[in-house]
Structure 1
Amino acid sequence: MQINHNKRKIRLILLSFVMSLLLSGLKFLAYYLTDSNAILSDALESIINVFASGFALYSIRLSALPKDSNHPYGHGKVEFFSAGFEGALIIIASVVIAYGALTRLLNPQPLANLTLGSGLIFVTVILNSAVGLLLVREGKKYNSLALTADGKHLLSDSVSSILLLISVLLVLWTGLEWIDSVASLVFGLLIAYNGYQLTRKSVAGLMDESDPLLMQQVVEAIRAHKKNYWIDVHNLRVQQYGSDLHIDCHLTLPYFWELQKSHDTIREFEDVLKENHPGETEIFVHSDPCLPQCCYFCRLKGCHVRSHAFQHDIDWDVVNLAKNQKLFTEAQLKIKQDHD
């Protein structure tokens, strides 16, 4: 299944690469016909799409390689490099675009064939939007940052092109050619922000920053399949490596269980997490024995060593499951301290 996922991701990013080449050619043709600085800005940004899609293709192929002695967690983090590389290229392009816009604003040049050029740009908007939406949808499906980043880049390119078309229409309507340079400058600032967002997410992934959405998905999977003998889960940590996940946590089980039964329960717990993620999921679960204070929120029936009657459940949410301690209420903590 994982092999099929990787092949699907490679085909999608290859589609993006070919489409970027085609659209870049159309935009440069539109610039040749119009001599519009705004259209040139859009064309320059499309060159970034080509380089970014090419690097994303390389990163996805590399991330699909199996683990080895030098990369015990696999090669998935290269997708964060891909997103960071794309973000850096976008920021560089925004600087070039802004410089060109200011130069043209100080030295205006006549424009021509704006209607034909606008038609070509409109075609690129349709194609960019279709491919971008597909990449974002599939990127989220396969938890691939490289696909998602490339898709969002194409969508932001479409939005920028729409703003560009509006500026061209304003030039045609008013005859004020300086609008073209101002639109190019705004365009540069817009893609600079998009580049910053991509770079920020790349650095966060490389630094193993906690992803609240990813953590919430894992917690929801645990809650949806919760068993009475899963007494407590804590110290839950989730790390992403490309489209793969590494999860570790502590699972509290009845202390009197035999080793084989505890082992089978941990395997059941791991299977729940693996079934709720499309990529590979590596899981390390540390088994903790229950304490007398756990009886207050333990629903295990027929327990022959129960010290206290069940009182209420403790909410298994992102905050609680991430704590490096068993989940006790304040009153139960006082009892535990007195007992210790």
Structure 2
Amino acid sequence: MEREKSFWIRISFIISVILLIVKFYSYYITNSAAILTDALESIVNVVAAGFASYSIYLSSRPRDDNHPYGHGKIEFFSAGVEGVLIMLAGLFIIYQAVYNLFFPSGLEKLLEGMILVAFSGAVNGILGVLLQKKGKKLNSITLEASGKHLLTDTFTSFLLILGVLVIYLTGLNFLDSVIAILFSLYILYSGYGLVRKSVGGLMDEADPVAVESTVSAINKNRKNVWIDIHNMRVQQYGGDRHVDLHLTLPYYLDLEQVHNEVEELEKVLEDDWPGIMEVFVHADPCIPEKCCHYCQIADCPVRKFPVDTKIEWNALNMSKNQKHYHDLSD
């Protein structure tokens, strides 16, 4: 898996370098600030791909004494760096566009420049789709972030072509700076999105997708003897996922039976995740006065009260640190 991640990020780096040359040549022959936005974003692509390559190498290293949860969080850092670089490029482009409004320069060979930008955009689009698919398959936020960035680059490239085409047909050269500023604002927004996701991951913000996936896997294999699950925490670092939860079991089970139920729940979660899954289960004994009302064991030998409800497990109530009877009105 890590070898495949490294392969795709190296491909991304090589292509980014080639397209960087193509786009700067396009700017060189046109002198267009709008096309400069595409060229500068290519610098970000190259730097980000290089950093992503290192982050994937580091995240693949096994856990050690200093990093008991592994090195997967470096991928959040990589996505954050990419977002910051995108935002810096956007700010520089705005500066350059405003400067050109007051000190305009002549535009040349716009048709040739548009063809080169279109070629670069098409290549980025194909690579972006592949990186996002591989990122989801390999559970790599770095590949997904790179793919999203390249798709954003493709989208802006083709909108940029339309803008340059208007300039080419009308001869209104001041539109070059206006288009550059508009595209820079979009670039800033895209960069902010990556930074926001990166900070959320580094701060262990709850990942709704990871939580819902865990809840779904448990519900598909739910057993009546698993009376309740609560205080569940799900963290994901790169391709590694960590789950902590409390499992309520009948108090009369012996230690071996409790151990077997815990192992079965762990296996359910491990089999559902293609990457590395680490599960910590804390077993709680049931309290008849509180649990009998929703315990689904049909032939429970110690039942004191009849069953009058069934708690539907979801991301909200399974995450609460409230034992046995959460979700009940009494």
| TM bracket (short chain) | over 0.9
1:171 counterpart = 2:167? yes
**Structure-1-length-normalised TM-score:** 0.94
Residue 159 (structure 1) aligns with: 155
Residue 321 (structure 2) aligns with: 324
* Mapping of residues 223-234 of structure 1, within 5 Å: 223-234=219-230
Letter in 2 for 1:173: L
2:242 aligns with one of 241, 246, 268:
246
Letter in 1 for 2:132: V
2:296 aligns with one of 293, 296, 299:
299
1:78 counterpart = 2:74? yes
Question: What do residues 264-295 of structure 1 show as CA deviations (whole Å, max 9, x unaligned)?
Answer: 11111011111222211111100001111212
Query: Structure 1 CA distance, aligned partners of 2:77 and 2:58?
Result: 12
- Partner secondary structure for residue 74 of structure 1: coil
Query: Structure 1 CA distance, aligned partners of 2:329 and 2:153?
Result: 55
Note the C-alpha offset of 1:328.
2.4
Query: Structure 1 CA distance, aligned partners of 2:329 and 2:179?
Result: 62
Note the C-alpha offset of 1:122.
0.7
2:16 aligns with one of 9, 20, 29:
20
Aligned residues: 329
Letter in 1 for 2:201: G
Relative to structure 1, is the Cα distance of residues 295 and 52 closer, same or farther in structure 2, using a 3 angstrom cutoff? same
Note the C-alpha offset of 1:68.
0.5
1:194 counterpart = 2:190? yes
Query: Structure 1 CA distance, aligned partners of 2:19 and 2:304?
Result: 70
**Structure-2-length-normalised TM-score:** 0.97
Note the C-alpha offset of 1:173.
1.5
Query: Structure 2 CA distance, aligned partners of 1:202 and 1:287?
Result: 33
Query: Structure 1 CA distance, aligned partners of 2:220 and 2:186?
Result: 41
Residue 312 (structure 2) aligns with: 315
Query: Structure 2 CA distance, aligned partners of 1:111 and 1:268?
Result: 69
Q: Is the 8 A contact 2:317 2:326 kept in 1?
A: no
Residue 6 (structure 1) aligns with: 2
Letter in 2 for 1:93: A
- Partner secondary structure for residue 297 of structure 1: coil
1:111 counterpart = 2:143? no
Percent identical: 49
Letter in 1 for 2:186: L
Note the C-alpha offset of 1:81.
0.7
Moved more, 298-307 or 52-61: 298-307
Note the C-alpha offset of 1:151.
0.7
Q: Which structure 2 segments of 5+ residues have no match?
A: none
Q: Where do 4+ consecutive residues of structure 1 move more than 6 Å?
A: none
Query: Structure 1 CA distance, aligned partners of 2:127 and 2:324?
Result: 46
Query: Structure 1 CA distance, aligned partners of 2:96 and 2:267?
Result: 56
Note the C-alpha offset of 1:312.
2.3
Query: Structure 2 CA distance, aligned partners of 1:304 and 1:221?
Result: 29
Letter in 1 for 2:235: Q
Note the C-alpha offset of 1:85.
0.7
Q: Is the 8 A contact 2:83 2:191 kept in 1?
A: yes
Moved more, 53-62 or 8-17: 8-17
Letter in 1 for 2:72: G
Q: Is the 8 A contact 1:314 1:327 kept in 2?
A: no
1:47 counterpart = 2:26? no
